[in-house]
Amino acid sequence: MKLEQSFMDFMLHHQERHGRTYNFLVLLEAVQTAAKYIQYFYQTGSLKDIMCEAGFTNVQGESVMEMDDIANAIVLHYLRRSNQVIHAVTEEEADPVVLNEEGGRYFFYFDPLDGSSNIKHNLPVGFMYAVGKRNMDGPETYRLRKGSELRAAGIYLIPNGVFTLALADTGVFRFHMDETMTYVIPENSERLIIPEDRGEWELSFNASNRKTFSRKVQDWIEENEAEFNFRYMGSLAGDFHRLISNGGMFMYPAIINHPRPDKNRPNGKLRLLYEANVAAFIAREAGGAAIDENGNDILDIEPESPHQRTALYVGSRGMVENIGKRLRSG
């Protein structure tokens, strides 16, 4: 009889090896429970008629899907019950949600469902999150944590049942949902490393925006595109997931040359705290890199507001450094 190693068993031993408390496990257990409920609602959503628009917009002015709203409520519920979280920043709420300001140890940043345009087609979406830690040695300032201070970041691919977790200074690990809805790590699986060889390299960006990018970025694409396969599913969670195994780069550059200037997005589209940082942190732990439109490391950006946006270039280190040189050039 072959028994797989469960996610919790893996984490328990990890925490013990590093002499850490179990508080982090309590948090991750809550997160995992939330992910399973999101999975359940997503898989059966068409039968419940919930794969539609909710009828209102969020703080970002984007139309909210019913599933965005359901996933957000699920995550907040289990975070609150865990007692481990001080504040949670979610894509769906204007201000950080105070959960346990006195006793919580962690800050939690999340996008409950990433890739909303996929929802009505039942295509893959992601639940993305990052975890920061309170100052245990002195007074807590409650400031938003920058990427380099995060302790963990994860992406649940839904409804595929694949979970990727990056732990600070430790690496990236992947878990698969088994028949009992337990996430397990396959035997002999190793730390994930984003490949640097150009074998199956992929380039992932919204090609309909191509002419709206800066001249530097447009030139770089023209000079380099022949080397890549183009892949784009419209969900950072899914697109980035492919790159971790195949290598290459996902990018959402600044939009500065749109024929309708009101459609320009000089700061890009993706949100720093719960999209760009999640991918950037996982990339770093897998040997890759992530930069913004100025060629600076995403993980060094000091957050100023919960929903601030940034351009994002993330993937294999050599490739990100290559376009970074171009972005930094005069």
The one-letter code for the residue type at 157 is L
**Token pair of 127, please?**
């639940």
Helices (H), ranges, 94-214 = none
71-110: contacts with ligand AHG (CB under 6 A): 91
| Nearer to Mn ion among residue 113 and residue 184 (C-beta) | 113
Identify which of residues 111 and 239 has a Cβ nearer to Mn ion in the complex: 111
The stretch near Mn ion (CB under 5 A) out of 97-105, 113-121, 248-256, 276-284 is 113-121
CB 324 within 8 A of CB 298: no
Binding track over 6-45 against ligand AHG, x by CB under 6 A: ----------------------------------------
> Residue 28 CB, nearest distance to ligand AHG (Å)?
22
Exposure b/e, 211-228, CB count within 10 A at least 16 = b: ebbbebbeebbeebeeeb
The interface mask with ligand AHG, positions 264-293, x = CB under 6 A, is: -----x------------------------
**Among the listed residues 35, 64, 85, 111, the single contact to Mn ion using CB under 5 A:** 111
Q: How many CA atoms lie within 13 A of 312 on its CB side?
A: 30
How far apart CA 144 and CA 62 sit, in angstroms, is: 23
Do 220 and 323 contact (CB within 8 A), yes or no?
A: yes
On whether the CB atoms of residues 304 and 297 are closer than 8 A, the answer is no
Provide, rounded to whole angstroms, the least separation between the CB of residue 135 and ligand AHG: 30
Using CB under 6 A as the binding rule, whether residue 202 contacts ligand AHG is answered as no
| Contact yes or no for 72/93 (Cβ under 8 A) | yes
Taking the complex as a whole, the smallest distance from the CB of residue 221 to Mn ion amounts, in Å, to 23
Shorter beta-carbon distance to ligand AHG: residue 220 or 252: 252
Do 96 and 79 meet the contact criterion of CB atoms below 8 Å apart? no
Neighbours of 188 (CB within 10 A): 5
Nearer to Mn ion, 133 or 307 (CB): 307
Dihedral through CA 279, CA 217, CA 124, CA 201, nearest 10? -80
Beta bridge partners of 289: 315
One character per residue 71-100, x = contact with Mn ion (rule: CB under 5 A):
--------------------x---------
Q: Which is nearer to Mn ion, 69 or 292 (CB)?
A: 69
Map tokens 């919580």 to a residue.
Answer: 104
**Which one of 72, 82, 108, 114 is in contact with Mn ion (CB under 5 A)?**
114
Q: Does 236 bind ligand AHG (CB under 6 A)?
A: yes
List of residues contacting Mn ion (CB under 5 A):
91, 111, 113-114
> What residues line the site for ligand AHG (CB under 6 A)?
62, 91, 111, 114-117, 206, 234-236, 269
